[in-house]
Amino acid sequence: MKKELDLAAYLAVFVVMLFWSSGLPVIALGLKVESPFAFLIVRFLLSSILIFLYAVIRKAQLLFSPKIMLHLFFNSLFVFSQFIFFYHGLKTTAAQRSNIIINLNPVIIILFAHFFFKDERLTKTKFIGTIVAFSGVFYLFFEKNLINSQFLTGDFMILCAAVSIACSTLYTRYMSNRVNLIALLFWQIFYSAIVVFFIMKIFGIDFGTYEKIGKLWHIYLYLSVFTNIIAPLLWFWLISHYKLSKIAVISFIFPIMSAFFCYMILNEPLSGKLWFSLFLVTAGISIVQWKTEKKN
């Protein structure tokens, strides 16, 4: 039985959103120097090593039955997909725009959860909130020149990343009752690193240079420790103990924090249209989750 939200849960969600939102402009900085695949493989490998060392220290079980290992592999494909879509999308769209689109993932989680979990049924209010949130994305697309296919492609890839995040979240909730959280995170990242490695080898994609890795060492370290390890472990703990809809009630702070970090780190302007789109997405998510809190 999932618990009601308490102070520990609220603090954990805040920390998760803080690390993930600050990671968005940091990733954008890294992609100015390195290609998406090369950037990703270094991040995955470093994170895998750190998680493995942490597992050894905690004496966490990492090997399971073939069936469980297969589930962990399928889950890693969603993780791999979200990174690939997000990195490539971020190359062709602004970080703040991607912030609005990626923020749709809580709404997508609610829609998908309706079909997979009996205690997460879609209500009328949830549906209204979903429409409001997606209207923010429609407004964002409508303001652009639709002939600019490259920019549209970047936004669409960010949307695919949001769907992948939602699928990974639901799969992780399913698997959290079967394996420990450290193993869940390790195999997500390690399997993803293997997939990226073989794709790069097959298509002859450059692995980057030691010089570039040296230039980005602080970015790799920050992303690996805070956005790839601490934040996911806290998130896994949350979704394994609390209902998804109740966790997401405070996740709307992500776009606000991301916009702030994008402004501070990337000097991206805070335009009126951008904020209105952000407001619509945030309002939709708030409506959906507010009703869930009242009913439960």
pLDDT (tens digit, 9 = 90+) per residue, 25-76? 898 888 888 888 888 889 999 999 999 999 999 999 999 999 999 999 999 8
What pLDDT is recorded for position 278?
Answer: 73
Residue 1 lies in a domain: no
Mean pLDDT, to the nearest integer, of 285-291? 66
Evaluate if pTM is beyond 0.75.
yes
Residue 2 lies in a domain: no
Q: What CA–CA distance (Å, rounded) separates 188 from 69? A: 11
Residue 95 lies in a domain: yes
17: which residues sit within 8 A by CB, 6+ positions away?
250, 251, 253, 254, 257
Residue 92 lies in a domain: yes
What pLDDT is recorded for position 292?
Answer: 47
Q: For residue 209, which phi and psi values (nearest 5 degrees)? A: -125, 160
Number of domains in the chain: 1
What pLDDT is recorded for position 240?
Answer: 87
Q: Which of 11-25, 138-152, 207-221, 255-269 is predicted most confidently? A: 11-25
List the domain range (segments joined by +) for residue 45: 7-295
Q: What is the pLDDT of residues 181-218, one digit of tens each?
A: 999 999 999 998 898 888 888 888 787 777 788 888 99
What pLDDT is recorded for position 1?
Answer: 57
Q: How far is CA 286 from CA 147, 172, 243, in A?
A: 33, 23, 16
What pLDDT is recorded for position 148?
Answer: 52
Residue 84 lies in a domain: yes
Residue 210 lies in a domain: yes
Q: What CA–CA distance (Å, rounded) separates 109 from 235? A: 14
